[in-house]
Structures are given as C-alpha cells and as structure tokens.
Chains A and B, each alone.
Chain A
Amino acid sequence: MMTLKTFIGGINPRNNKEMAKTTPIEIVLPGKELVYPLAGKYGTPAKAIVKVGDKVFAGQKIGRADGFFSVPVHASVSGIVRGIKKRAIFTGEQVKSIIIENDGLYDEIDYPSPIPLAEMANPDIINRIQDAGIIGMSGSGHPTHIKLSPQNPDKISHIIINGAECEPYITNDHHLMLSEPDRLIGGLKVLLKLFPYARGVIAIADDKTDCIDLLREKTVKEARISIKILKNKYPQGSGRQLISAVTGRFTSTAITAEAVGVILLNIDTVINIQRTVLTNKNLTSRIVTVAGNAIKGPRSFCVRLGTSYDTLIEAAGGYIKKPEQIISGGPMMGNALKETDIPVTKLSTAILLLTKDEVLKSNQTACINCLKCVSVCPERLLPQQLAVFAKHDDKASFIKHAGKECLECGCCSYICPAKLDLTEAIKSMKLPLMS
C-alpha cells in the first residue's frame, strides 16, 4: 500500500454515506412543471431565447450564453413554455427562470452526429463544452470551458479528477465511478488531448476501495493516467487541499490552480465532458443524493434539471420523521432551505433531510481559547481570532490574519466545543472583502 495523500488539519465527521450508497442510482421522472433559472453561481446569466407558448424539446437550448463568462440553459423535457419569471432557488434568492409545462413525452431534439475526437480541433471541443452547458458539478458551479481555457495550455502538468467526495452523506461520485468508469476515463482522455503535456490523476479517498480497485484495473494500461489514494478526511476534496496532496504545490487566493499547472475537475463534470464531446448531447440531468434520517428511502437519483425538490423527496418515500433542517448540498457547506418546491439545478448535489439528532444543535457558551478551531483549519488560519475581528468589524486585522484565505469549509464551527458560529462570522466579513 502506498502512502496516503492528505493535508494538515481537517475533521472526521460521521460520514453517513451508507444510507444512499447501498441502493443503485434510480431514475426519477419530473412532475408537471419544470423551472430553469437563467443565472448560475458564476458569470453572466443566460438570455432567454424562447417565449411563452413556445413548444420545446428535451435538450433544446432555451437560454443562450451571454458572452464567454456565461453558459447556456437547455430544456430537459419536451413541453410548452408557460412563463419567464422570478422563482426561488436553493440559495433563497429569486432568480429569473424559464418555466416549462412537461408534456410527458420526453421528445428529444435531433442532436447532430458527433465528429470523431481525433478530428476535432481543441477550440471546437471547448466550444462544445460551453455550448452543452457544462459547469463544475460538485456544487462549485465554475463554468468548465473557462477552466479549460488557461493562458498557456502547454504549462498544464496535471489534470486532477476529484474523487474525494468528502462531504458527509453524498454518494454521487461514488456511484458514478462504479457505474460509468469508461465514460470517466473517456472524458479524461478528451482533457489529455486538450493538454498534451499533462498527466491525468484520478484522486480517490480511501473509503471508496471499490472505486479504487475498479479504476486501477481500467487504467492499468493508460500511460498518462494514474490513480492516487487520498486519506478520507474532510475537506480533502477542497481544491487547495487536493492540489497540495497530489502535487505538493501551494495555491491560495493569489495563486490559482492554473498558475501551478493544475486543472481540477469533478467526477460528474468529466463524465459530462465525455458525453457531450463524444455524443454531442447537452447537459439536461444530474445525480442528486437524497439522504438523512428524516427520509424513508435515502438514495442517489438521476433526475432531469428543473425537477422540483419535492418530487425527489416523494420519490425517496417521503418523511418518516420530522426534519429539523433541510439542506441543499452537503451538510458542511450546503444551504439550509426554507421551502422545498424549488428546482434541481446543476448545483444541486444533494437534498438532506436531517433530524434533530443529526444536527446536534446545542447552546452556545463562551470561547475558552481551546484552539480546536485552529488545529482543524485546513488553511492554518486562526478562526476564533478572525471571528472576533469580524464581530468588531476590524477589517485590517482580518486581512493581516489572512482571513480572505478562509475556505468556508465549516471545520471550525463543527469542532467548536462552545458551539460558536465561527464560519458564519468569518464569512460575513470575508464575502464583502472579496467582491
């Protein structure tokens, strides 16, 4: 056994992945109404190119990319456009969205027949990826075509595929590595064509031994692809921690992955790259984990984008206990939801329905300077100090103490014996400073 790659700090929360791991991915059909927000997490919102009353097909572009820093939006079902208006998304924000009434036929557009990879020029591949609407599927939401357009492609030495999946409960990548290994490797080969001097590294956490074994076997003859085993720890899947574990290179807010020759992509993103480049299909669905002790049948679903969260909750058998907290995304970095009639977007990695016992809410006490937050911080920051600076609105000290390097990973709040909301306090000062 080779040594495990990892980083200093971090936590080992109860990972609760057994729930959704044991059942295979299940396809779930959407309800009557599908909602497609035009804005993602990053970049310029797409522009609607359909109008109310239009008939659309699954895979059809309904919002066009508004420039390079934008991704288009596609319908995931066939039906009729019923409205273009503001709708709530998982962040609680109201976002301009296209609303489509599902006709239940799921008629697809005729995709043009794909060009063999060897005949495709690199810029065409990157255009195709943008045109298919691919973004970081881990919940990061970075438009993939931007990541794939570094200043100097020849300087890229590593394409790292993130198979850490360190957020508790979530099992999407685990399922995908097992069910789509060939697409994953195929997608990586597309990337290796784009970056001729890079080697491909699939980095997998050591709790996913089945994935490690399978992908090792599948890549044994691939000279440019290797498998790296990571220690299962949170936040091992965080970009900086993963890059440092695999390459030993240091990244920060000032030093990007690209600057150290690394492109880091999520498992699902690479599978989508394969699908879109080799079959020409647009991104119209994703994998979503539905888990937590409040739900009857936790599992990972393959679902069309725009489907309501309520449809997934129902498909998982509904509630068996009262949920204390409903979360979109992982329990460490996800968003708490006020309502569940919101659409699945490309950022919807999971829906977690957690009971009181799972969230372990308890009363706050005074900070006793135990420094557990300091010892778990993967960025070696001093969270309790940063939280004090944030409370006193002391921007100068916050910046001097490298507060802008905070990953918002949540380790400090998780470990705090005084139950202080350190991450929240640090975020409140960091976010205005970053924009």
Chain B
Amino acid sequence: MNGKTKASPHLRSKINTSGIMLVVILALMPATGFGIYNFGLNVLYLILVTVGTAVVTEYVTGLILKRAVTIDDYSAVVTGLLLALSLPPDTPLWLGAVGGMFAIVIVKMLFGGLGQNIMNPAMAARSFLFISFTPLLNYRNPALEGESPSLLDMLVKNTSGVIGETSMLAIILGAAFLIILGVIDLKIPGAYIISFFAFIVMFTGSFSPDYLASYLTGSLVFAAFFIATDYVTRPISARNQILYGILLGFLTAQFSLRGYGFEGIAFAVIIGNLIVPLLNKMGTGTRND
C-alpha cells in the first residue's frame, strides 16, 4: 500500500470524456454520410480537411502554449466535424482549413482550452468565415435546384444548402441516439424549437401551417440538437437551460424574419453563448430545481 490515502468515493464510473466525444461523433455520422452521398466526394475531402486542421492545430497550439496535449479526447474532431457540416458543399478546402484553425486557436485554445471557451468553436468559425469570405460561400442547394420542397424533401434533403443540415431524418436519427444514451436531453432543443415557432407566430401573426413549415429547416433542428446542446457553452441549471432555449428561439426568430437563413442561427447561438455566464449568475442558477 502506498503512503497517501485518497478521499472518498473510492469507486468511479467507466464513462470518460473521450467516450462522450466518440458518441457525439457517432451521432453525427448519419448527417455526415448523407452529406457525402448527396454532394459527392468533395464533401468528404472538406470534412477531412477541417477535422485534420482542427486536430493538428490543437496539437501544435498545445505544444506552443506548453499545455498537456489533449487531442486524444476527440473534442477537436467534434469541432472540425461540426464546422464542416455547417459549411456549403463547395466550400474551398483552404477555407475549411482557415475555419478549423480559427475555431481551435482563437475560440478554444486562447480561452484556456477544453471546457473554457465561451462560444461554440464551430459556430464562431462558421460566422467568421461567413463575415470574412461571403462571396466564397455558396448556399445554393444543388440537389434541389428549381424544385419546390415536398414533405419528403423536408425529411430527406431539405432546402438547406449546408452539408450536414440537408436531411432532417439523418439529424433526428443522430439526435435520438444522443438522447437514448443520455448524452443530451430535450430541455434545450425542446424549448428552442417550440419557442422559435411561438415567436414566429407572435411576430408575424400567421398561423398558416404551410408558412410555419417553411421555417422548419434542417438548420434549425441541427442547431437545436447538436449546437445549442454543446456542453461547454450551455447554462448549468435546468431552469436556465429552458430560459436559454427560449432565448435562442427568440433570437433565431428575429434573424429569420430579417432574412438571415443559416447564418442567423449561428449568430443566435453565439449571442446566446455570450449570455450564458449571466444566466448562470442569476438566482435561477443556484440549484438544479
């Protein structure tokens, strides 16, 4: 027996951080697979570039900043993958690399690395690319050129021109996987989607199902289940998570009604992220009830 005694508890569960990240990566596979199937091999190359850049950048930054190298937790893979899935399919590969580096260096590592970033790295990088390289990002959806979307299209290849957000079915499949495994729950996504539609009705005064359905995009569902639920950038208490979902619903509705499509969602998430520390300081955040 060694000299030092450990404090209780003396048993630990088997779950670890890299395990959770691997589950998230698995949950993103339906959307990834459908993106590749739908848009071709260039999408696979883009994914490899963003993921590869994110991982290599994290490794190198870790060395430069003299921090423990943490690429084996797969969090950089998740960031790179989320970024690729939120870009248009014909994004130049070098631009994907720029995004991957921005996400890791500026948004993650400079704030202190894993668990310390105040914005979702993938969303911040997506917005950075949108603002800085607008002409290079082409949000048309080649799969749907000239067609008006049917219900089937909505489920399988929606109007979104972003790789991971085209098939709502693929997104929901992945989300269901995360919910069943207990990685995420319905508080934030539920509050987000329900309040989004409530605000659309409130602001437009229209109850027309066809009109509302036009807002039910893969982007919204993807953001609700995979982006808004991001561990690091969400509030802590149950009540604050619901408030956060409502806040995202409000912001997304505002951006949507002002003509922003996919980017409106990224902006809404970033603004929401920045308000999270304030939410955590409120009285609704002192205990989980």
Contact = CB atoms under 8 A, between A and B. Distances in A.
Interface of A: 11, 13-14, 92, 168, 323, 325-327, 331-338, 352, 354, 358-362, 365-372, 374-375, 377, 380-382, 384-385, 400-402, 408, 410-411, 413-419, 421, 423-424, 427
A417 B22 CA distance: 13
B113 A360 contact: no
Contacts of A336: 5-8, 10
B232 A331 contact: no
Query: What are the 5 tightest A-B residue pairs by CB atom distance, in nearest-first order?
Result: A410-B9, A336-B5, A424-B7, A366-B115, A366-B114
B232 A368 contact: yes
B38 interface: no
B286 A402 contact: yes
A73 to B, nearest CB: 26
A400 B286 contact: yes
Contacts of B20: 368, 370, 417
A414 B9 contact: yes
B234 to A, nearest CB: 7
Contact of B9 (A332, A366, A369): A332
B11 A360 contact: yes
21 contacts: A168-B11, A323-B1, A327-B10, A331-B8, A332-B8, A334-B10, A359-B11, A368-B114, A368-B115, A369-B115, A369-B232, A371-B231, A374-B237, A380-B287, A382-B288, A413-B12, A414-B11, A417-B15, A421-B7, A424-B7, A424-B8
Interface in B195-249: 231-232, 234, 236-237
A367 B115 contact: yes
A423 B7 contact: yes
Given A338-B1, A369-B231, A382-B237, A13 B11 contact: yes
Nearest to B19: A417
B13 interface: yes
Q: Is the interface of B mostly helix, strand, loop or mixed?
A: loop
B128 to A, nearest CB: 23
Contact of A325 (B6, B70, B231, B286): B6
Contacts of A414: 9, 11-13
Nearest to A374: B288
A97 B14 CA distance: 41
Contacts of A380: 287-289
Contact of B231 (A92, A331, A358, A368): A368
Interface string B106-122: 00000001111000000
Contacts of B5: 92, 335-338
Contacts of A417: 13, 15-17, 19-20
